[in-house]
Amino acid sequence: MTIERTSRTKIREIVTALNRADLTAIDYEYLLTQVGVLIKGIPMMAQSVPVGTSLYRGVIYPEKPSKVSYLGSPPAELVTSFQRCNGPGKPMFYASADTAAVFSELNANIGDIVYLSSWTVDREFLYFRIPPGAGKEMEEDAAFSKIETFFETRFAQPIHETFSAQYKMTAAITERLSTGGVSGPFESLNGLTLGAVVYPSVAHTTRSDNIAIQTVVAQSCLRLSNVRAIEITERQAESITVREIDFSTTFEDGHIKWLGRSMQWTLNPGETFNFTVENNMWVARSADGTIIHPS
């Protein structure tokens, strides 16, 4: 079934109105509806996150967390206002492809301890990139170009508050793209779950990819691989110095078994590893290229 696209004139009117809107007063459901009208009938390209992909998430706590649940999405009751990709009571799993972006997004200060967790994709899922890609037939389409620019501009705006009404627009865009369009939520496309958006980090200078994943999708598609307790010991304008103080790869009955030391690799007699830096982290590989995980 072909869904009729919103007219070019209507798209222009909606984008103009949304750009002028007072986000502290406007109704969120109205924004959701308008974003749905904007993308109605547009053949946008969803991409998949392959099995084996590593994603990194960081949290700051005054005390060392003992439960795995403290490393994932926060409880819905603690999400009381709007964040970049979610509304009140609708937590998302925020992560990054780059560990450096995690520290930038957290705005960690000297003395803070960041609990940096590494998550492995065990089940492939789909996401839309911001701005969303479209087929070749849309490359010269003026209406789609206006939507593309609108989405990209909104996600590029720095907002210096963790919770802010200024996030209403980006939250509405995320909810529509990660759960469905005007026809309502849908769970899968070609057998793969849709439930995330990827967008460039505003806080990190290299604009590394961040990802916001619907909590239910993160719970079903990601596996916690390890967690590091990292103390910020020095901070300058463009760099930080850190010290790893604890590490764990053991998670039993929802609890973290801390080892009381930094991560390490164990070699068998006569064995050699090759180390490279990937995503600002050391990665060890055996002679045949197989990744050796720390313990």
Instruction: Give the span between the Cα atoms of 24 and 15, in whole angstroms.
Output: 18
Q: Above 70 in pLDDT, residue 188? A: no
Of 97-106, 166-175, 185-194, 257-266, least confident by mean pLDDT is: 185-194
Mean pLDDT of the residues in the chain: 86
CB of 81 within 8 A of CB of 88? Answer: yes
Q: Above 60 in pLDDT, residue 226? A: yes
Of 120-124, 155-159, 193-197, 290-294, least confident by mean pLDDT is: 290-294
User: Which among 67-81, 202-216, 237-251 has the top mean pLDDT?
Assistant: 67-81
Q: Above 90 in pLDDT, residue 206? A: no
Helix (H) or strand (E) holding 71, with range, is none
How large is the average pLDDT for residues 185-196?
70
Burial profile 48-87: b = 16 or more Cβ within 10 angstroms, e = fewer: bbeeeebbbbbbeeeeebeebebbbbbeeeebebbbbbbb
DSSP state of 67: B
Residues in Cβ contact with 251 at an 8 Å cutoff, skipping those fewer than 6 apart: 68, 224, 257
